[in-house]
Amino acid sequence: MSLRLYNTRTRSVEQFVPLRDDGVRVYVCGLTPSAEAHLGHARSFMFFDVLRRYLVHLGYRVTFVQNVTDVDDRSIEASRTLAKPWYEVIEHFFGSFKRSMDRLGVLEPDREPRATAYVPQIVELIAALIATGHAYAVGDGVYFDVKSFPRYGKLSGRNVAELRVGARIAPGEEKRDPLDFALWKFAKPGEPAWASPWGEGRPGWHIECSAMSHSLLGEPFDIHGGGEDLIFPHHENEIAQSESVFPAPMANFWMHGGLLQFDGKKMSKSLGNFEPLSTLLDRHDPQAIRLLFLRTGYRKPMNFTEDAIDSATSGLRKLYAAYDLLRSAPPREADGATVTPFRERFFGALDDDMNTSAALAALFDVAGAAPQLAGEGGGPQAAALLHEALELLGISPHRRARLPAGDPLAAAGPALLARLREAFAEVAEADGDVRAAIDAAIAIRNRARRNKDFALADRVRNLLADGGITLADSKEGTTWTAASGG
RNA sequence: GGCGACGUAGCCAAGUGGUAAGGCGGAGCUCUGCAAAAGCUCUAUUCCCCAGUUCGAAUCUGGGCGUCGCCUCCA
């Protein structure tokens, strides 16, 4: 079995064969950091992260490029309303995005080119488009002439004549055809501007991807990815630009992720119906969010609810518990064959157009069989499989989340400390912080338990519970956890 | 209006011709002073509806109904 992927270009699942022997080249359309990123972005980038990890696992040398469109109309708008330079707006949102990606365990792209760093290449590409009759300069900028590219609409299945029916030319735009799109926009006073042969201005959306993928990967490269909403017009326009000038098709595989919905509607900047990813990650385990997304096929639309994250969190705990059990099981007669069926199911599912849902089901079956596997001496093999598989999915048991950022005791801590001091002389005397007080209370309770004074033991448990502290007894002793959010 | 996707248990979800994966939740039991964790067992005669093709359909065809996406900035 080998990897098969759905290709938007051909609308079918195809065998994935790298174009060159020396590696696989992937270009994913990244963020335009003109606003906070949301969970929908996370879903998309996380999927391509898993795809990338799997390609590496298959032995390919992968070059993974994800661009940053660091200049656009929206960030210029934001700079006016926030009274900050446009580049500070960009840096703010991009920094926030990068931190979120890091928390989600999304690996750094090999290259993360910024549009503004590729202006010379962009200008060069536009010049070539003009020279070959595919673009023209007018009063407000340079436009791509859609009529000059007969294949326009092929990727998205659009009919140019039908598109033209509803299309309008906005006031101030001097393009000749409503379908034509901007390659270069001349700067109005106060707007960011770069020099070009046609006048000072900035790149239009779309052209940066053609210029940067050409510079970094060439044509054709293996996989071009992005969200489903990029198929039209973004990717259609990229194809028109690139393929008008470069002799080869732009990319071999075009892959698109399904959109995340909130409340039955797509999350989007214009609807504003989302919570910033950064604050959502303060409340939930990033690995649970990964698990949640991987449970649904990447091409399917998916509705987001916080309950779903909670359910994924439970599932994650189950996988980790099984991993811990298997790992500590005594190795006996090495018999790798016992985990082979699970292994084949897991990798077979990924080969089948990245069916992470079915792959995960195989891992949950390993978890279900963990006690048996451990008993039969298959623990180490099964643990190794789980580790390898979970690492591939980016939910490694070795990087499981500790408590979310921020001290969960910060809010409720002082009140709890006061209460403990009031209730127990021993705690009052110990001059410590909340944590020390909790430890002291636990000591009191454990002494009470040994003395069979369960009324006192329960009083301690309840007192701590009121402060958001949950106790758990085990053979190794008593541990506590603080409810997040205090 | 045009194009496209989807509709599977209480919730989420895989499965695209051979007789319904998996997760969450729920129920019972074991263990535990209590609790948690963990373990065991159970939880869709049926896949939005109606017709058709077939020995056989959740899967194919036709027709409904419903939801969503793209057609404008979007992952």
Is the pLDDT assigned to residue A220 strictly greater than 90?
A: yes
Q: Are A347 and A334 in contact (CB under 8 A)?
A: no
- 3-class SS of residue A65: strand
Task: Count CB atoms within 10 A of the CB of residue A242.
Answer: 24
Nucleotide with minimal C1' distance from the CA of A48 is: B75
Q: For domain A304-399, say whether CATH 3.30.43.10 is its number.
A: no
**CATH number for the domain running over A4-266:** 3.40.50.620
Which nucleotide's C1' atom has the smallest distance to the CA of A39? B75
Query: Of A275, A274, A284, A227, which is closest to residue A104 (Cα–Cα)?
Result: A284
Is A215 exposed, middle or buried (CB count within 10 Å of its CB: 0-12, 13-18, 19+)? middle
Rounded distance, CA A194 to CA A431, Å? 63
| pLDDT at residue A483 greater than cutoff 70 | no
Distance, angstroms, CA A308 to C1' B15?
A: 22
- If DSSP states are collapsed to H, E and C, what string results for A260-292? EEECCEECCCCCCCCCCHHHHHHHCCHHHHHHH
Asked if A215 and A126 count as a contact pair (C-beta separation under 8 A), the reply is no
- How far apart CA A367 and CA A212 sit, in angstroms, is 44
* Cα–Cα distance measured from residue A329 to residue A327, given in angstroms and rounded to the nearest whole number: 6
Name the one residue in this structure whose structure tokens are 């859609």. Answer: A146
- CA A464 to C1' B3, in angstroms, rounded, equals 60
Nucleotide with the nearest C1' to A358 CA: B14
Contact call for residues A214 and A121 (beta carbons, < 8 A): yes
Q: Which nucleotide is nearest to A367 (CA to C1')?
A: B22
d(CA A181, C1' B62) / Å:
41
A411 band by pLDDT with thresholds 50, 70 and 90 = low
State the pLDDT at residue A90.
96
Cα separation of A255 and A29, whole Å? 11
What mean pLDDT is predicted for residues A450-459? 87
DSSP letter string, A138-166:
ETTEEEE-GGG-TTTTTTTT--HHHHHHH
Strand partners, A227: A257
Nearest nucleotide (CA of A263 to C1'): B68
Q: Which residue is nearest to nucleotide B36 (CA to C1')?
A: A472
How far apart CA A330 and CA A381 sit, in angstroms, is 11
Residue A377 pLDDT > 90: no
pLDDT of residue A404: 46
Note whether A260 and A46 are within 8 A (CB).
no
pLDDT of residue A214: 97
In angstroms, the CA of A357 and the C1' of B8 are apart by 15
Residue type, A23: G
Rg for chain A, CA atoms, rounded: 28
Instruction: Please state the φ and ψ torsions of residue A46, each to the nearest 5 degrees.
Output: -65, -40
Distance A54 CA to B29 C1' (A): 42
Q: CA–C1' span, A310 to B12, in Å?
A: 11
Q: Which of A176, A178, A145 is nearest to A161 (CA)?
A: A178
How are beta strands A181-186 and A201-203 bridged, if at all?
antiparallel
Judging by beta carbons within 10 Å of its beta carbon (0-12, 13-18, 19+), is residue A188 exposed, middle or buried?
Answer: exposed
Residue range A187-218, pLDDT digits in tens: 999 899 999 999 999 999 999 999 999 999 99
Instruction: Give per-residue burial for A166-179: e unless 16+ CB within 10 Å, then b.
Output: eeeeeeebebeebb
> Which carries the bigger pLDDT value, residue A95 or residue A453?
A95
Q: Could you read off the pLDDT of A299-322 as tens digits, one per residue?
A: 999 998 888 999 999 999 999 999
Using one digit for the tens of pLDDT, what is the confidence trace for A99-134?
999 999 999 999 999 999 999 999 999 999 999 999
Please, which positions of strand B sit below 7 A from a protein CB?
1-6, 11-15, 21-25, 32-40, 67-75
CA closest to B34 C1', residue: A458
Averaging pLDDT over each range in A118-122, A366-370, A416-420, which range is the top one? A118-122
Checking if the pLDDT of A152 tops 90, the result is: yes
Q: How far is the CA of A41 from the C1' of B75 (A)?
A: 5
For A37-46, write each residue's pLDDT tens digit.
999 999 999 9
Q: How far is the CA of A181 from the C1' of B63 (A)?
A: 41
Identify the band that residue A283 occupies on the pLDDT scale cut at 50, 70 and 90. confident
Please state the length of chain A: 486
Nucleotide nearest to A355 (CA to C1'): B14
| Residue whose CA lies closest to nucleotide B13 C1' | A296
Residues 6 or more apart in contact with residue A355 via CB below 8 angstroms? A297, A349
Give A30 CA → B72 C1' in Å: 20
Nearest to A298 by CA among A44, A123, A82: A44
How far, in Å, CA of A381 to CA of A216, rounded? 41
Residue with tokens 């985990």: A339
Strands A469-474 and A477-482: antiparallel
Using C1' positions and the CA of A303, the closest nucleotide is B12
Is the pLDDT reported for residue A407 higher than 70? no
Helix/strand/coil percent split, chain A, to 5: 50, 15, 35
The confidence score (pLDDT) of residue A405 equals 45
Per-residue pLDDT tens over the stretch A62-90: 999 999 999 999 999 999 999 999 999 99
- Name the nucleotide with the smallest C1'–CA separation from A470: B36
Q: Which of A333, A332, A392, A330 is nearest to A362 (CA)?
A: A392
Q: How many angstroms separate the CA atoms of A376 and A471, rounded?
A: 33
Q: How far is the CA of A159 from the C1' of B2 (A)?
A: 9
**Cα dihedral across residues A298, A303, A306, A307: positive or negative:** negative
Q: Residue A43: which nucleotide is closest by CA–C1'?
A: B75
Given the cut 0.90, state whether the ipTM is greater than it. yes
| The predicted structure's pLDDT at residue A119 | 97
Distance A441 CA to B34 C1' (A): 17
Whether residue A460 has pLDDT greater than 90:
no
pLDDT confidence band for A403 (50 / 70 / 90): very low
Strand partners, A302: A260
